[in-house]
Structures are given as C-alpha cells and as structure tokens.
A and B are shown apart, each in its own frame.
Chain A
Amino acid sequence: MTDTAQTVRYVRETMIPPSEPPLKEQGAVKWMRENLFSGWKNTLLSLVSIYVLVKLLFALVPWFWNSVWTAGSLNECRETLAVLEGLTTHGGACFAVISDRWLQLLFGFYPAESYWRPILVFILMFVALAPILFSARLPKQMLWFSMLFPFLGTWLLWGGSFWVPILVILGFVVGAVGFKVGGRFAGAFGAVALGVAGAALWWMVAMPTINGALHKAVALSRIDGTKVELIETLATNPAQIDAIEAEQAAVQEKINELTAEKDVLVVEMLAAREAGTEPSSDQKTAFNAIMDELMVERRHYTALGFTAFKLQQAISDANGLLANIEALPQWEADLPKAIQTAAEMDAALPDGLHNLVSVNQVPAGTSPEAVDALRAYLDADTAVLNLRANIETAYERLGTLGLAPVTSRDFGGFMLAMIIGVAGIVLSLPLGILLALARQANLPIVKGFAVAFIEIIRGVPLIVWLFTASLLLNYFLPPRTSFDLVLRVVIMVTLFAAAYIAEVIRGGLAALPKGQFEAADSLGLDYWKSMRLIVLPQALKISIPGIVNTFIGLFKDTTLVGIIGLLDPLNLSNSIRAAAEWNGVYWELFVFIGLLFFVSCFSMGRYSLWLEKKLQRGHR
C-alpha cells in the first residue's frame, strides 16, 4: 500500500477453497520430519535414542513376556521356564513371588482377617481429603469428618475399645472450654495457658483413670461369661486342631503326589529338550494343569495351617487370661500392701536418696547400708509398678469393647509407609504453621528459635533422626517411660516434616499481597483472628502443591524406617528373600515395589502440578 488515495475499494465475494499442503507436509511424515529428522544433529540424536530404546526393549520385554506367575518357589519358577520356554534363569521374570506375597508387601504382618480395617481407613482418607483438595465443590460440613478422621483412622488401625478415640477427642473439647474460660478471665495468655493445661490434665490424668474404670466395669460385668467361654475354648480347640492337622496331612499327601507327577513330567520334557525337540503341547498343558492344581492345594494347606495356628493361639490366650482371672483378686489384695511397704521404705531412706531411679545415681560417699536400703526400696517400687501394670492389662484384655487390638510390630509394607507418611504430614501441619508464623513474626527471639529449629532439622539427614528416635529418644524422656517404635518414628518424622512444611507455608505467606494484612488490620481484626480468617486460609491454599511435594518426598523416605528395623516394603522384600523358597529373588520384588511407589508418587506429582497451574490461573 503505497498511496492511500489510489486504493480501490475491494470486497472478496468468493472464498478460496482450502487446499492440501504438499504431501511431505502432511500427517505422520510431516510430524516425523519436524520432530525427529530436522537437520543432521536432530537425526543423529533420534537415531541414538531409537537405538537405546530398542536395546532397552529387547532386554526387558522378553523378561516380562515370559514371566511365570504360578509357582511355589524360585526353583519351580526356573523349572517352569526351562521346560516350557527352554530358558535359563534370567530369561523370564518369576512374578510368582508377587502372587504369593503381595498381601504381605501391602500389609506386612497385619492379621489377614482384619485387612478390611486398613482398607477402610484408606478409603475414608480420600473422603476426609476431598473437602480440602476440592474445597470449591463440596459442602463445608464435610470438614468435620476430616477433623474426625485422624482419631477414627487410628482406632481402626490399632483397634481397642471404642471409647478411647472419644476420650481423646474430649481432651480437645476440654482444651477448648479452658481456652474460652481462660480468655474470658485472663485474656489471650490466660486462654492459651488454661486451654493447654486443661487438655494436658485431661489426657494425662482423667483419661487414663476413666479408661481404666470403663475397662474394669466392662471386664467385671462379663467376667463369668468370659470364663465359661475360655474354658469352652480350652475344651474344644485341641480336637479341632487335631482334625485340621489330619486334613493337612491329607493335603500334604496330595501335594506330594502332584509334585512327584510333576517331577516325572519335568524329566520327560527336559529330556525332549535335550534331544532338541520342543515338548509336545499335551505335555505343556498337563504341566500347567499340575502346577495350577499344586498351587490350589498349597494354598489350601497354608489356609489350614493358618486356622490351626489361630486355634492354637486362642488356647494360649485363653490360658493366659484364665491365669489372669485367677490371679486378679490376689493382685488387687496385694497392691495396697505393696504400696504401703514401698512408702515406708521410701520414708526410711536417708535424705538425698529420694526420687532416684537407680542405685547408680547415689551421690559419692553414701554408706553401703543406705545403698542397700535404696536397692530394696527400688525393688519394692518396681513391684508396685508391676502389680499396677498387671492389673491394668488384665482388665484391659478382659474389658475391651471394640476392635481386636493389633500391635505396631505387625504393621508393615505399603500400609506402614502410608501411615508414617500421612501421620507425619497431618501432625506436622499445625507445628509447621506455627513455625512459619514464628519465622515471619516481628519478634527476634521467637524468630531465632524457629530458624534454629528449622535449620537444625533440615541440616541433618532423616536417617540420623530415625536413629535418634530408635536409640536416643528414651534418653530424653523421663526415666521408665518407653513407647512403641512406630510411635517414636512418627514423632520424629513429624518434627522432621514440620521443618519442611514450615518453609513451604512461609512461601505461601510471602506470596500473599500486603494489602490483605492491612485490610484485616483496618477492620479491627486482631493478630490471631486475621491469621485464622484471612491470611492462613489463603496461604495454605497456595501451599497445597508444596505440601503435596513434601508428602511425596516423605512417602519415599519412609523406606528408611527399614534401616532401624521396621517392616517397610524394602525390608519386607529382604525377609521374603530370607524364606527358603524365595531365596535369590531380587528384580521381581524391586519392580513391584518400585512400580507401586512410582504410580502413587507420579500421580500425586501430577496432581500438584495441575493444582499449581490452576492456582496460577486463579491468581491475578
């Protein structure tokens, strides 16, 4: 357009029909030209990549393709591979180990009849997470369930009487009431002090008392019935066990026959292979049929063994409980006497020897008699503690009303990884929020403490913290307190995660515009109200992707608990390998465990990425 004055008005009346681009610019060919073979460098890269890919596939595909899923041991796997495919050990995977042990890899030694409990907890977890992850679309009332879930989940997993979680929740109620009352009379500080003190008193004093009383009441109300049942168990179970053992013997017989049959077939087929001919398809079908049958029988055998074991366990439980019932009156009668004796001995001790827990603690220069007196007192004191513990456990066993208790020693596999990961993140959130707020606060000393905590935790590897939990935590707690390793690990992991979560939330706080703080101030909201109502809801929402990423890291790191003796999936794979039949299986277990981790971590990572993008769009 050189000169506007000369431009002639022109309106197109017919549209040019769309035309095909030249052939080489189309479809797959075009795509390949553009994406794979544009320029010699690109072509070279593509060729190298294709070579790598083909190599990888050639190594992996046959291994998966020829995999054996029905076999009772690694040797049978090899046998199967040899006779059916004519392959050596590494020619195909032996996924039979997975079909044999996958439940163990998922649940550890959690009792099979209670698998529904962790599964239910897993499902409920998503229900509890839903209102947090998809807050826009779900009613806010669902958050109440989210708050209830930790207690419900803990109870479902560990079992015990149904009132225990209720009593724990009541502690929060007591704390809240204390907070309100304290706030009315003594301002913010009074509120916090009274709230914490109330809850602590409830949990440490009232709750054990009420719990013990409830257990005792239930136990006493049904002690006669229980006794009859226990005697009945003792009477009938041995006969049942005998019957089962007889059945087992029959099944074993069958297994032996089948094995012999299979061995004959294997020899024949191997001979055929030796002679250079492929075994006939009839033989192969027969072999497969025998293997299938063998597996069925073996499973039957194991199930019978399991039942017999349960019955046996019931007998020893019954014996123990009956003995407890017998001894209870005696223990209860002895207790006051023992307490008095101990008190008298304590009173008789020379000054400076009270409140000691070991004769090692006596100051230098104490007379031998005094040391002996202390030793005698300590023994008496231990006797009191033992009596108390005996009585309490007896009533608890007799009076449990709810789910069968499961000890943490039996927790394992992915369930354990999930529990530690989820508990770590959930419990660390409040602490992480407090740390983040402290680090943002305009209070140098508080800020200093927060920074020190965060840096110390983050500067030391998790494995060292885990060793601290397993070896040192008992040093830091009052003498004679000791609790379960899983709980100790959860505490340590919580502290660990809190430092990382604090940094994530600090990022969220920093991303909030300053105007939000100012608007809250100008409306007259005080610090905690503006945090709770304005700042944290927004900061936490921005932080969710970061929290999910922290969870992914923590979930992967739960494999480290195997090093201090818990049954994480990797440690379980070691114990599976320790069994004679699966000695030497590596890759199949690694692949299975790796795949499970990959699927869960990858999908969570994608979710967090999606959320990040969504938040970026939502934030103008």
Chain B
Amino acid sequence: MSELAIERQIDRSHMTISDEVAIQINNMNKWYGQFHVLRDINLTVQRGERIVICGPSGSGKSTLIRCINRLEEHQSGDIIVDGTELTSDLKNIDKIRSEVGMCFQHFNLFPHLTILENCTLAPIWVRKVPRKEAEDIAMHYLEKVKIPDQAHKYPGMLSGGQQQRVAIARSLCMKPRIMLFDEPTSALDPEMIKEVLDTMIELAEEGMTMLCVTHEMGFAQAVANRVIFMDQGQIIEQNEPHAFFNDPQSDRTKLFLSQILGH
C-alpha cells in the first residue's frame, strides 16, 4: 500500500486524551448467518484518542466500526457510546447516530443535492437548526476543508478528493463528538490522498476523537496514538504507533506489516 510521507509539522497542543470514555465495547460478537465476523471484541476509546485500525481485507474492520453507529447490528456484548448503550431502542440509535460522524470509502454524497444542501440536510432535519444558521455552519466547515467556492455545485462536478472532503464536512456539520472513517482514501488517486489526509490531520489537531480504518501507515505514525491490528474478526494486537511498527509482537502482525510496507 501507499506510504505517503507526512511532511508537515503536527501541532499537538490540542491533542489531549482525557479520562472520559467515549466508546466502550465489551465482549461484542457478530455473525452474518453462520459466519462469525467479530469475536469477543473488547475496546475502550478515551475522548481525544486517535485510533487507526488496520488488518487484511475481510478481517472485519468495516463491520466493527459500522457496529458503532448501528449500520450493522451486533448480536451479543455491549457497545456504549458517549454513555448511551446501543440497544434496539430507536431513540438511542438516533441519538448516537447524530453524535457520531462517519465517512465512507465511496463518499456516499447525495448526488441530487448541492454541496451546501448535502451539508445542511442533517442539521436542518435531525438537529432542527434554522436553515440560515445551518448554512453558516456548513460554510464554516466547507472553508475548513478548503472548498467553500464549490458550495453550489453538485457532487458529480467535483474530484474524488474534493468529494471526500465534502463528506467530512457533511459529518462535521452535525458537530459530532466522534468521527469514524472507513478507508476514506482507498478509492482515491494518489495525488488526491494527501488533501484528504491533511483534512483528517487538521481534525486530529483539534482534538477530535477518531477511529480510522486505513492503510495509510504514514498517517498512523504521524497522528494516531494507538494502532489496532485485526485479523479474522479479532483484535490481535494494539500498541502506540512507534512500538507497533518497530516491534510488532504477533506473527500475523509481522506478516501483515511486511506485506503492507513492502519489505
């Protein structure tokens, strides 16, 4: 996979990890029919943590983070997000979904709405923010991801990197406390990956709690405070990035790293 060097200096002044628990997952299991995708997942995420999840394809990374906002339903164990337990109660689900932002591999922007409308839709209909205010918020975040001038275009007119940045802005407009990223750069051409990573780094610098499924190891080394390696539905190993890359413990992690870093 690509190893984009992160050249810029990272401002770590706001990257503080508090004692407050943002996500707590206990003994979580999930099956697709007979297929046991996630096995006994235990994970605690502190507020302000930046976690990178990696692992071979099909290991259940996407499924894990999609369980956190109930795009997939887990069958046993607990998931507690921001103190709210994810049960089959619709009200809790709605609450958690509006607190947790998500970016997809294929952006999933709404093609029939302009960029601005994409960003204001959820604040207006879910948070009940007045339109004017919602537009101000949207413009603020669009400026932040550096595409305010595209606000009135449709997603189809933008490049992939721009679309992914809009998708990030769209999630941010809901003022989420946690952001989930599912391979946000793997559908992009190399020259566009950097602009998306820059946006994500800025987000990290502001102290956002982030869970990223990504194979951008440069990003993991520069920004993450913890890297998690998953295989066959289990968390095999987790460590802070320096130790993870330089001194992997498990054989599977070593094999994976040797393949991905191309030694």
Cα of A521 to Cα of B174 in the assembled complex, Å: 13
Chain B residues with CB below 8 A from A524, complex form: 94, 97-98, 122, 126, 174
Does A11 sit within 8 A of B, measured CB to CB? no
Q: Is the CB of A522 within 8 A of B111?
A: no
Q: Is B121 among interface residues, defined by CB-CB distance under 8 A?
A: yes
Is B83 part of the binding interface, using a Cβ–Cβ cutoff of 8 Å? no
**Bound complex: CA of A391 vs CA of B104, how far in Å?**
68
Q: Is B110 located at the chain interface by the 8 A CB criterion?
A: yes
- Complex contacts, B106 vs chain A, CB 8 Å: 513, 515
Contact A522 B71 (CB under 8 A): yes
Q: Mark B141-166, 1 if CB is under 8 A from A, else 0.
A: 00000000000000010000000000
Q: Say which residue of B71, B112, B170 sits within 8 Å of A521 (CB atoms).
A: B71
CB-based contact A523/B126 at 8 Å: yes
A518–B122 touching, CB < 8 Å:
no
8 A Cβ contacts from A541-563 to B: 541
For residue A519, which residue of chain B has the nearest CB?
A: B108
B110 pairs with A534, CB closer than 8 A: yes
Q: Is the CB of B97 within 8 A of A522?
A: yes
The CA of A525 and the CA of B106, in the complex, are separated in Å by 19
Chain B's nearest CB lies how many Å from the CB of A469?
38
The residue in chain A whose Cβ has the minimal distance to the Cβ of B66 is A518
- Interfacial chain A residues near B100, Cβ < 8 Å: 522
Cα of A584 to Cα of B173 in the assembled complex, Å: 75
What is the bound-complex CA distance between A523 and B121, given in angstroms?
Answer: 9
Which residues on the A side are within 8 Å of B174 (C-beta)? 523-524
How near does chain A come to B151, taking the closest CB pair, in angstroms? 18
Asked whether, in the complex, the Cβ of A529 is within 8 Å of the Cβ of B108, the reply is no
Is B69 interfacial (CB 8 A cutoff)?
Answer: yes
Q: Which of B69, B90, B102, B108 contacts A516 (CB 8 A)?
A: B108
Alpha-carbon separation in the docked complex, A533 to B120 (Å):
12
A149 to B53, CA, bound (A): 56
Known contacts: A533-B121, A620-B156. The answer to whether A519 contacts B104 by CB under 8 A is yes
Q: Report whether B112 and A541 are in contact in the complex, using a CB–CB cutoff of 8 Å.
A: yes
A454, B106: Cα distance in complex, Å: 35
Q: Is B125 an interface residue (CB 8 A)?
A: yes
Q: Which of A523, A529, A618 is the one whose CB lies under 8 Å from B156?
A: A618
- The one of B97, B112, B125, B126 that contacts A538, using a Cβ cutoff of 8 Å: B112
Contacting residues, chain A, for B104 (C-beta < 8 A): 515, 518-519
**Nearest A residue (CB) for B72:** A518
| Cβ–Cβ < 8 Å partners of B156 in chain A | 618, 620
Check if B69 sits within 8 Å of A522, measured CB to CB: yes
- Tell me whether A537 is interfacial, beta carbon within 8 Å: yes
**CB distance A516 to B97 under 8 Å?**
no
**Which residues does chain A contribute within 8 Å of B111, judged by CB atoms?**
538
Contact of A526 with B by CB under 8 A: yes
- A525's contact among B101, B122, B171, by CB below 8 Å, is which? B122
Query: Are the CB atoms of A525 and B126 closer together than 8 Å?
Result: yes
A518-B71, A518-B104, A526-B94 as given contacts; A537 in contact with B112, CB under 8 Å = yes
Interface string of A503-534 (1 = CB under 8 A from B): 00000000001011011111111100100011
The chain B residue sitting closest to A534, CB to CB, is B110
B94 engages A519 (CB within 8 Å): no
Inter-subunit contact B97/A515 (CB<8 Å): no
0 or 1 for each of B165-177: is its CB under 8 Å from A? (1 = yes): 0000011001000
Which residues of chain B come closer than 8 Å to A513, judged between CB atoms? 106, 108
Which residue in chain A gives the minimum CB-CB distance to B111?
A538
Complex-state Cα separation, A526 to B126, whole angstroms: 9
Nearest neighbor of B109 in chain A, beta-carbon distance: A519
Residue of B108, B109, B125 contacting most chain A CB atoms (<10 Å)? B108
Would you mind naming 29 contact pairs between A and B with Cβ atoms under 8 Å apart?
A513-B106, A513-B108, A515-B106, A515-B108, A519-B108, A519-B109, A521-B71, A522-B69, A522-B97, A522-B101, A522-B102, A522-B171, A523-B97, A523-B122, A523-B126, A523-B170, A523-B171, A524-B94, A524-B97, A524-B122, A524-B174, A525-B121, A525-B122, A525-B125, A529-B125, A534-B110, A537-B112, A538-B110, A541-B112
Minimum-distance CB pairs A-B, first 8: A519-B108, A524-B98, A515-B108, A524-B97, A523-B122, A522-B102, A524-B126, A537-B112
Apart from A525-B122, A538-B112: 18 A-B pairs, beta carbons within 8 A: A515-B106, A515-B108, A516-B108, A516-B110, A518-B104, A519-B104, A519-B108, A522-B97, A522-B101, A523-B97, A523-B122, A523-B170, A524-B174, A525-B126, A533-B121, A533-B125, A534-B110, A538-B110
